[in-house]
Amino acid sequence: MPGKDKFTAVERSAIMARVRSWDTTPERLVRSTLHKLGYRYRLHDARLPGKPDLSFPSRRVALFVHGCFWHRHPSCKRASTPVARQEYWLKKFERTTARDLRNRVELEQNGWTVLIIWECQLRGARWVPEVQRALKAASRLTWTRKFGVQVNRSP
Ligand SMILES: [Zn+2]
């Protein structure tokens, strides 16, 4: 069925185009917003599981900016499954989500806090205070781990 194949190719290239532009926009927005707020971070640190998009070593926070389509944002309409070649896509999605989970578990086992910002959340601004709160909480946590629970000493 040549007509059907043609449609599949178009659909596929539309998806690929979306994926290519993905790399630049959402991650950049997160980087520049947090940078302006004074946070400093590492990018794609290869020593950490999954090379987190941003990492904050002193707070032990790993932050991933996930595309809803590839990483299968639960109950998000952007996480649709293409009608053609479903088996191909489902296998691909399964590999991605399994890898995400493995990385998350490995990071958490090493005492890291894992934050995920979904692409669709970037349309609003609510992610900003949420991430700030999480970073603050994580830095309290690492402080406690490093120096123990703070005790009020008498002078
Ligand atoms: Zn989403």
Q: Does residue 87 belong to any structural domain of this protein?
A: yes
Answer whether residue 30 is part of any domain: yes
In whole angstroms, give the CA distance from residue 83 to residue 151: 60
Over range 124-140, report the average pLDDT.
93
Query: Among all chains, which residue has been given the structure tokens 């043609």?
Result: 6
The residue that leads in pLDDT, 118 or 142, is 118
* Total number of domains in the chain: 1
- For the beta carbon of residue 22, count every other beta carbon within 10 angstroms: 17
Task: Indicate the pTM of the whole model.
Answer: 0.79
- For residue 11, name the pLDDT band (cuts at 50, 70, 90): confident
User: How does pLDDT run across 43-64, given as a tens digit for each residue?
Assistant: 999 999 999 999 999 999 999 9
Q: Is 154 inside a domain boundary?
A: no
pLDDT greater than 60 at residue 137: yes
Is the distance from CB of 80 to CB of 69 less than 8 angstroms?
yes
Could you tell me the residue range of the domain that residue 102 belongs to? 21-133
Query: Residue 143 C-alpha to ligand 1 middle, in angstroms?
Result: 33
Chain centroid to Cα 15, Å, comes to: 19
Range of weakest confidence among 20-34, 41-55, 71-85, 87-101? 20-34
Half-sphere exposure of 95 (CA within 13 A, CB side): 5
Task: Give the C-alpha distances (Å, rounded to integers) separating 19 from 58, 68, 118, 130.
Answer: 32, 11, 14, 26
Domain containing residue 28: CATH number: 3.40.960.10
- Span from the CA of 141 to the centroid of ligand 1 (angstroms): 29
Q: How far is the CA of 146 from the centre of ligand 1 (A)?
A: 36
